[in-house]
């Protein structure tokens, strides 16, 4: 009788421990999802800022005034490279 009580107590302790452990894991998963949502939101905001700042209207004043760059007068030349030329250059 005493042995069966100890076995029952051991099984109950094991089950309660597993329930507590699963609850802690669920809390960790929830916290991780919250952190992921925050980081995704920050990332999206930064991507929008990059797109906004990299427009031609924002880049042109810096390029012309600070870097003294101008639009080319002549049309740029087109260079055509064959894939076989690239492969032969690698060897």
Cα dist from 55 to 9, 16, 45, 78, 86, whole Å = 69, 59, 16, 24, 33
Q: What are the tens digits of pLDDT across the range 61-81?
A: 888 888 888 877 788 788 888
In this structure, the dihedral spanned by the alpha carbons of residues 40, 45, 47 and 51, taken in order and rounded to 10 degrees, is 160
Q: Give, as one character, the DSSP assignment of residue 75.
A: P
91 pLDDT band, cuts 50/70/90, is low
Q: What distance in Å separates the CA atoms of residue 72 and residue 36, rounded to the nearest whole number?
A: 45
pTM: 0.55
User: Which stretch of DSSP H or E encloses residue 6?
Assistant: helix 2-53
Residues 19 and 25: beta-carbon distance below 8 Å: no
Q: What are the tens digits of pLDDT across the range 11-46?
A: 999 999 999 999 999 999 999 999 999 999 999 999
């Amino acid at each position: 009788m005493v042995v069966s009580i100890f076995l029952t107590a051991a099984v109950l302790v094991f089950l309660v421990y597993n329930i507590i452990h699963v609850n802690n894991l669920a809390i960790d998963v929830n916290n991780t999802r919250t952190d992921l949502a925050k980081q995704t939101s920050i990332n999206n905001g930064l991507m929008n800022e990059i797109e906004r700042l990299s427009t031609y209207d924002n880049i042109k004043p810096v390029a012309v005034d600070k870097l003294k760059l101008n639009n080319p007068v002549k049309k740029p030349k087109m260079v055509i490279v064959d894939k076989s030329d690239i492969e032969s250059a690698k060897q």
